[in-house]
Amino acid sequence: MSSANGPAHRSVANIRSPPTAHPGSPHTPLRTISSAFGSPSALRAEEDYVVIELGARYFRAGFAGDAVPKAVLDYGPEQRRRAGDYRKWNMGYEKDWRKRIQGKEWGEAYELWRPDLRGLDLGLIGDKVDRAFREAFTKYLLTDSRPRRLILILPSVLPLPLVSTVLDTLFTNYQPPTVSLMSAPALTTVAAGLRSALVVDIGWSETVISSIYEYREVQCTRSVRGTKMLGEEMFTMLVEAVDPTSLQERGDERGFGEKARNTLSFEECEEILVRMAWCKPGKKPEQPVASFGLTPVKEEDELRSSMRTMNISGDEAADPQISIPLRSTNPRQTLKLPFSKLAEPCEIALLGKGNLPQHLDDEELPIHLLVYRSLLKLPLDVRSICMSRIIFVGGGSNLPGLKARILNEVAALIEQRGWDIVQGKAVDQFRNNPKLQRTRSRQADEGPMEVLRDSNLVPPGLLDQEPDPIEDDLRREAKKDPPVVSGNLRAIDSLGAWAGGSLLSQMKIPAVSIIDRDQWIQQGPSGASRAGEITGTTQRQSMGPGAFKSAAGDRSSWTLGLWG
Amino acid sequence: MASFKPYTYFQCPCTDTNLPPRRLGESRPPSSSSETEQEDDRTFDPRAPRANFSLYPLEHLLYCEDCHQIRCPRCVLDEIVTWYCPNCLFEVPSGVIKSEGNRCTRSCFQCPICIAPLSVSSIGAPPEGLGAEYVQPSGPYVLNCAYCMWSSKEIGIQFEKPNGIYAQLSKVKNGGTPVITPKERRKDREERSRDASVPMVMEEGISEEGEESVNLDAHEDLDAESQFANLKAFYQSQLAEASPASALGFTGGDYGYGSPGALSRIMGLYTGSNFADKRSKSKTGTMREAQDALEGLQLCNTASDEETIARLRNEGYENTASVAQLKEQTHPAHIHSVDDLRPIAYLLRTKRSKRCKTCRHILSKPESKVQTTRFRIRLVAPSYIPSISIRPLATSQNFLLTPFKPTQFVLTFKNPLFDRVKVSIATPGTTPGRFESRVTVLCPQFEVGANTDAWEEALREGAEREKRRTKAEASEGQLQAEAGKVWERGRNWVSVVVEVVPTSLRADVLMKEEDRGPVREDEDVVEIPVFVRVEWEAEGQGDDTVVGEGGEGG
């Protein structure tokens, strides 16, 4: 997912506007008419898009133009009961949860798909999507089953089998005329009002950091530290507090043993995670005083921060006992935990406490390190734009304090390492060794290249800058626009990918990947042409009869865009 | 499981054709011989995770008379007859649904804590003196939960009027601070755009209406709705400025004649001087990004996070909103504490008529009036498909199954049609799944009589009834079913006997190692897939196949 293939929003990037400085000429505000024939009377028959976002845990659906989705559904085990199975209302149903989790990994019953597609029943995924879709439509959207255009928001990297299963389900069961695919990180950027951003999606099975530059995804890095891992850590912590013996017997390769899993239910663990988990603020970043590379300052720094943490954990008033009533344990009990303990799972799972960064695999970097690395990998100017536009989304981003913590950690990393890929003990030694530094500079000074000085030649350093018309133009343009904030760390809130999709479809901005129902049914996923072959919507338009067809109407070739 | 009720489910055949069961990269490829076998007679497995999505009780199914098929909720098309609020039973017109959304906009609310209905009550001093009971109570009013005693006073919200709570509530935040309405925001936005472009020719009368304008803070915290509105306005203004630049004055793929670009193009069509060209030749800059809260940009507010943590620390677990409570909220973002919850407006419901997906005939159509429960058209499956019920043969004893002990069950087919039907049923020898029980149907083919008038039969065939009773009495003694014979037969029903030899539920003796493990949910219930073929002759040749499935206790 590198370089410039973020075609889903190429059309957005193509929108050019005249300089904003002279909006003086009068013009009527733009009316948005969606119909193919563009007559104003068609305003009434406005066709509303339905925007759907698919994630590993939640299904969001609603009409374009809304700020929040009307329906947010999960794929929990209650969603996959038979019709007319009312056992949920039985007495004592809640107590029976142990039976229901048998034969599954922790949390497996709650997710739509897992990243590992081996042995995955695609039909089942189709069924789940179908049921969620149906429930959303009948219960929340309150619409009939007239075919509607759909906008499907998907994570920017989704295996083709999953994409095709979802599309199959939608096309066969609901007959939408078209389904447009859009990528979640780009929409998140749109929903924050930005053109470029570093989208940190702390999702269920992984954290994905996508760098969006001018609406294009330029880089994507990921780590397995997601909400699932956080949940597992929380589970371990709680089970240990309830019954320390049950954790000793570990299950097969990964996951929990039988006894541990039967101690506490998934729902309860998640409930505690949502309600009580938090994230420690960590050390505050030093004010940008010029304190470069001097070791004594650093030591003092660490000392101070450790004093601060000591203070926090030592003070009884700052760390009260929190009592949490547990209902799924046998027998019911009230757990008493120190407040600071509830921040531990986040430290371990998301921030990689207890592991040295060099011991970690590339795929399990803690989030702050991942943010730093992805910024580091970006080209300089993209980095300066992106680092002041960090957007946190995903379930994990709701954890109180996490955003600030990650920002602090990243700031500390930048302070410590600068923007240098090379790091390690040898580099530090090299940098701190005055001898080496001196020799290098001396070499530069006393190099063999002696420049012969001509008296009537002005040294190039004193020459006037050569006039560069392009540079001038750029500067003039830049002056007209408000200055672009760049170069400092800053987090920005986004309304989320769903709202972005809703916004874009309100603006009538077509996606690159618009899939026609007939074409999909005839050709299936293999009929899609590669992303590069499609020129987007920039076809030549003329006033001929063809011009009045909608842009997506008569494409002979279609693409799956990012996902093809 | 002392009291287990046997049940039957029907599988709708629509799912068979939809998606072929696909599995990616099967870890162990099944041996070729068994695969071909599976291709030939792949029996339906009620245990498979997908089966739950295609099994329905008979009462949930409709029947299409033209296709001669049962129709499940997946193979019908819905059309909405009316929208209504389940609380006040007021009908909501479709236009309001479009503009106001899917919730009741009157005064119907659910408690955010326990979802019980809320009622409006006055907290003003009750009027005193003579005839006080005739005086309307005066405000202020609050919403009250009769179940958990929650009151909107707890979140600092009071109302001036007892009606139109929805509109009043939308103007107040929790705690009582007023919300800046979208209208005010729009106005402010317009004013700013007017200020920005000083030489505006727009001379239209400034419609102030006496309201003083609100000055919006460029750094305020917006809620989702207003941030969305701001973003939308921002993008629209950016796009509007972009629009004349496109070659033909068309934006995106949109051909609005109202757009200025199109207008200038039309004006320049025949005159040589091109209005549009002037603009399109001018340099194009990119759309800029949002700058402040007025344009929808929201900086991440870390202070509120710290506040949340402090609250968690001080107030503990009880004061946080539970997952279930958050799920009911319409704007769940940034809600952490119980104090942030808002009353939930009732979700509207619909009455729907249903059409067959293949032939588009109406299968069910309710009366449009909200209060009536009558249907104009209702083709439900129980009046076309023989209902199948199952019960243990020996009624007296506790019918929990004992491993390896043959137990007999009576499978009763009841015919709702006015024609005789021929039924043939088949089951696999062993039930699918980890625990394989042996199943034998003693009489796989039989005929079920027509559903004639009950009185007619009573008058005509007294003798036959007599005969049946004697037979039943005779069999009472031996309790032994004969193979190939119907167990019992009535006017429009027939019972046959099914023998089940349940297996032991001990997982550790299973052959395959990967199957071992404790008993999962529902595995202690024997579920038998039964393929049922029903044939009857009506005006046209009716022919119908259904896969039914029975479950029995164990």
Average pLDDT over residues B46-73: 85
Let me know if B89 is exposed, middle or buried by CB neighbors in 10 A (0-12, 13-18, 19+).
Answer: exposed
Residue B238 pLDDT exceeds 70: yes
Average pLDDT over residues B264-270: 62
* Whether B257 contacts A549, CB under 8 Å: no
For B299, the closest chain A residue by CA position comes to A492
At residue B32, the pLDDT reads: 36
How far is it, in rounded angstroms, from Cα A464 to Cα A459?
10
Q: Could you report the per-residue pLDDT of A86-110, keeping only the tens digit for each?
A: 877 877 777 777 777 666 778 888 8
On chain B, the residues whose CB falls within 8 A of the CB of A31 are: 256, 258-259
Domain ranges of chain B: 7-17+42-58+385-472+482-552, 83-124+138-180+318-345, 220-298
Residue B167 pLDDT exceeds 70: yes
B window 34-53, beta carbon within 8 A of A: 49-50, 52-53
Interface contact flag, A141 B102, Cβ < 8 Å: yes
At residue B454, the pLDDT reads: 66
Q: Could you report the per-residue pLDDT of B127-157, keeping only the tens digit for each?
A: 676 666 666 667 788 999 999 999 988 888 8
Helix or strand holding residue B327 (H, E):
helix B323-328
At residue B461, the pLDDT reads: 57
Interface contact flag, A19 B283, Cβ < 8 Å: yes
The pairing of beta strand A16-17 with beta strand B285-286? antiparallel
* Whether B409 contacts B390, CB under 8 Å: yes
Note whether B247 contacts A: Cβ–Cβ < 8 A: yes
* Whether A249 contacts A257, CB under 8 Å: yes
* Whether B355 contacts B66, CB under 8 Å: no
At residue A374, the pLDDT reads: 93
Note whether B134 contacts A: Cβ–Cβ < 8 A: no
Q: Answer whether the bond into residue A281 is a cis peptide, omega within 30°.
A: no
* Whether B103 contacts B126, CB under 8 Å: no
How far is it, in rounded angstroms, from Cα B544 to Cα B546?
7
Position B552 confidence tier, pLDDT thresholds 50, 70, 90: very low
Note whether B455 contacts A: Cβ–Cβ < 8 A: no
On chain A, the residues whose CB falls within 8 A of the CB of B257 are: 38, 40
C-alpha closest to that of B426 among B406, B448, B408, B411: B411
Q: Could you report the per-residue pLDDT of B8-44, keeping only the tens digit for each?
A: 888 887 765 444 444 444 433 333 333 333 444 456 7
Distance from CA of B546 to the nearest CA of A (A): 17
For the structural domain made of B7-17+42-58+385-472+482-552, what CATH number should be given? 2.60.40.10
On chain A, the residues whose CB falls within 8 A of the CB of B518 are: 102, 258
Average pLDDT over residues B257-262: 56
Per-residue tens of pLDDT for chain A, all 564 residues = 334 444 444 434 333 333 333 444 455 555 544 444 444 443 444 567 899 999 888 999 999 888 899 899 988 887 778 887 787 787 777 777 777 766 677 888 888 888 888 878 888 888 899 999 988 988 898 887 778 889 999 988 888 889 989 998 899 888 888 899 999 999 999 999 898 999 999 989 899 999 999 888 899 999 999 999 999 999 988 888 888 777 766 554 456 777 777 888 888 898 999 998 999 887 655 444 443 444 444 444 444 444 444 444 445 566 888 888 888 887 888 888 898 889 999 998 988 888 777 788 888 899 999 999 999 999 988 999 999 999 999 888 889 999 999 999 999 999 888 888 887 788 878 877 777 665 555 555 555 565 565 667 777 777 777 788 888 887 887 777 667 777 888 899 999 999 999 998 888 888 878 888 888 888 888 877 765 544 444 444 343 333 333 444 445 678 887 776
Interface contact flag, A407 B350, Cβ < 8 Å: no
Select the highest-mean-pLDDT range: A433-437, B208-212, B264-268.
A433-437
Distance from CA of A430 to the nearest CA of B (A): 38
C-alpha closest to that of B517 among A532, A258, A278, A385: A258
At residue B38, the pLDDT reads: 41
> What ipTM was estimated for this complex?
0.80
SS (H, E, C) B142-175: EEEECCCCCEHHHHCCCECCCCCHHHHHCCECCC
Distance from CA of A552 to the nearest CA of B (A): 8
Distance from CA of A192 to the nearest CA of B (A): 6
On chain A, the residues whose CB falls within 8 A of the CB of B327 are: 72
On chain B, the residues whose CB falls within 8 A of the CB of A272 are: 317
DSSP letters, B226-278, are HHHHHHHHHHHHHHHHHGGGSTTS-BTTB--TTSHHHHHHHHTTTSSS-HHHH
Q: Could you report the per-residue pLDDT of B74-105, keeping only the tens digit for each?
A: 888 888 999 999 999 999 998 888 888 889 98
Q: Could you report the per-residue pLDDT of B468-512, keeping only the tens digit for each?
A: 544 544 444 445 667 777 888 888 888 888 888 887 776 555 555
* Whether A107 contacts A266, CB under 8 Å: yes
Other C-beta atoms lying within 10 Å of the C-beta of residue B3? 6
At residue B95, the pLDDT reads: 85
At residue A548, the pLDDT reads: 39
**A99, A547, A550 ranked by CB distance to B521: nearest:** A99
Note whether B93 contacts A: Cβ–Cβ < 8 A: no
Q: Which CATH fold would you assign to the domain A193-226+361-423+483-494?
A: Nucleotidyltransferase; domain 5 (3.30.420)
Angle value at C-alpha A110, between A336 and A192, nearest 5 degrees: 90
Can A7-13+44-75+111-191+495-563 and A193-226+361-423+483-494 be said to share one CATH topology? Answer: yes
Radius of gyration in angstroms for the set of CA atoms belonging to chain A, rounded to a whole number: 28
* Whether A102 contacts B519, CB under 8 Å: yes
Between B278 and A338, the more confident residue is A338
Domain ranges of chain A: 7-13+44-75+111-191+495-563, 193-226+361-423+483-494
At residue A433, the pLDDT reads: 77
Q: Which CATH fold would you assign to the domain A7-13+44-75+111-191+495-563?
A: Nucleotidyltransferase; domain 5 (3.30.420)
On chain B, the residues whose CB falls within 8 A of the CB of A258 are: 518
Residues 6+ apart with CB under 8 A from A468: none
DSSP state of A214: T
Q: Could you report the per-residue pLDDT of B526-551, keeping only the tens digit for each?
A: 888 888 888 877 544 334 445 555 44
On chain B, the residues whose CB falls within 8 A of the CB of A80 are: 49, 52-53
